[in-house]
Amino acid sequence: MATTSRMPTTAAVTAFVTVNGADLPLGDVTPHTTTLDWLRDRGLTGSKEGCAEGECGACAIMLARAGSDGTTATEWVAVNSCLVPVAALDGQEVVTAEGLGTPDRLHPVQQELADRGGSQCGYCSPGFVCSMAAEFYRSGRTAAEPDHVAGDVADHEHGPNGFDLDALSGNLCRCTGYRPIRDAAYALGRPEEPDPFAQRRLGRPTAARYTRLVADGAEFVRPTDVAEAVQLLADHPGAVLLAGSTDVGVDLNIKGARPPFLVAVDRLPELRDLEVTHDEIRIGAALSLTEIDRRLDGRVPLLAQLFPQFASRLIRNGATLGGNLGTASSIGDSAAALLALEASLVLAGTDGERVVPLADYFTGYRQTVRNPGELIREVRVPLPLARTTAFHKIAKRRFDDISSVAVAFALDVVDNAVTRARIGLGGVAATPIRALRTEAALEGIPWTRGSVEEVASVLAAEGTPLSDHRASGRYRSAMLGQSLLKLQAEHATTGEEVR
């Protein structure tokens, strides 16, 4: 459908952020000022800058957002304040560690951390407090069944109180030893009924409104719909799109980037739907990875394997598929999985929309077929899904690291023979690619160790693996072949999904 430019006819109201219950005007803040710097300039120094790129979690704050399960009216989400420009939070509500409790009456999370020795130097403790408090208030957190927690609770991802320890995956300080922090998390009960904190802080709507800020030679605009957004992109060819800011924020902090025009699309309703039809799944490009994971609830096993390995919970609370694919990085983890799923992208521009298979989207290193005036509106995954799927991420760390190699498999195996194979690869070429030669070699062969060993050498030769600080080209090739052998070993019984 064709779109037209229509900017708001009324002037925007005064920009502000509600912080710990008080409305604080943004004033003449620049479009590049991070939420962390803005908070600290106002005396809220609990949040700290450790890495300035979203890895350490010392800067974590709580943000009120629409429920990630698609049904809850509002919930608390922990995000990295060092990455998000404060202009992007206009009209929204933030709570820092200072706003959770007082010295005379600590919040339950603060009390448990204090009682169990979960804080030593204290530098990273406020970030832990905010991440833990967001999980404390998570809708649906219930005590585990007794048989689930039998034995050593350390063997389980969730504590006896239903606390998902992955909520702390982006808070990396370990100066106390991690055990007392974990013990504090697992000792938390349920919020009070009624909970005064939740009632007081979640009373405001979280819908985004039109925002325009101009300062320091740069401009920040939050349009109200896709039509306005694509017109802005067409009028400003150098504009930078902003969603979760997990990539743009790093450019601002580490690379010193100062884009002159920022367009925020994270709250556009047209980019935030998730719909399952009889023949495809449609995922809005501005949904965070956490929202996608919770709304799909395991419906796409390959994505369910991908998400826990994609950075940390703090990053996934902001990161989007649109942003990860929009950067066109050759090591963006989502691309490999979506290539294996034969996903397509809906690109929206001033001339309307077009659907592009993801396999045709990448044209070169950080280059795509997306025109300057277009944005990614949604990702479409065709149904039915392959029955045998797996996502293998090879990196120096098990979690929260950049892939040296990412391999995604989607196979159909019938009567112990491969009838269909789709394989997506990341980190082995200038762009994410499909392993087309390996797919062709797999289809029609028996699903046995011997047959797969012959094809593993084909997969090892896919792409043009290079040597860099993460891995050598020889290592990458070896890992490609080993991934196929691992898949077969883990899935020797046909017809069973690999989870």
Query: Residues 316, 54: contact at Cβ < 8 Å?
Result: no
> How many Cβ atoms sit within 10 Å of the Cβ of residue 193?
6
**What is the distance between the alpha carbons of residues 481 and 461, in angstroms, rounded to a whole number?**
8
Res. 181: pLDDT tops 90: yes
> How many Cβ atoms sit within 10 Å of the Cβ of residue 201?
22
Sequence-ordered strand ranges (E) for 164-217: 211-215
Tokens 């293998």: give the residue.
Answer: 392
Residue 36 backbone dihedrals phi, psi, to 5 degrees: -60, -50
Tokens 């922090």: give the residue.
Answer: 181
Query: Residues 420, 406: contact at Cβ < 8 Å?
Result: no
The residues facing 362 across adjacent strands are: 368
Taking alpha carbons only, the member of 128, 142, 126 closest to residue 185 is 128
Structural domains in the chain?
Answer: 270-490 (3.30.465.10)
The amino acid occupying position 161 is N
Which residues 6+ apart lie within 8 Å of 458 measured at CB? Answer: 437, 438, 441
Token pair of 228 as six digits: 């306005």
Helix (H, G, I), strand (E, B), or coil: what is residue 143?
A: coil
Query: Binning pLDDT at 50, 70 and 90, where does residue 144 land?
Result: low
List, edge to edge, every strand of the sheet that includes 22-25: 22-25, 16-19, 93-95, 60-65, 75-80
Tokens 């989607």: give the residue.
Answer: 410
183-210 tens-digit pLDDT: 999 999 998 877 766 665 655 545 678 9
Query: Residues 362, 368: contact at Cβ < 8 Å?
Result: yes
398-455 tens-digit pLDDT: 788 889 999 999 999 999 999 999 999 999 999 999 999 999 999 999 999 999 999 9
Query: Residues 326, 347: contact at Cβ < 8 Å?
Result: no
Query: Binning pLDDT at 50, 70 and 90, where does residue 141 land?
Result: confident
Four-point Cα dihedral 77, 81, 83, 86, nearest 10 = 100
| The model's pTM | 0.92
Query: Residues 204, 64: contact at Cβ < 8 Å?
Result: yes
Taking alpha carbons only, the member of 285, 301, 368 closest to residue 340 is 301
DSSP 271-306: GS-EEE-SSEEEEETTSBHHHHHHHHTTSSHHHHHH
Token pair of 178 as six digits: 């991690």
Res. 148: pLDDT tops 70: no
By mean pLDDT, which of 69-73, 188-192, 473-477 is the weakest? 69-73
21-49 tens-digit pLDDT: 899 999 999 999 999 999 999 999 999 99
Count each helix (H run) and each strand (E run) in the chain, helices first. 15, 20
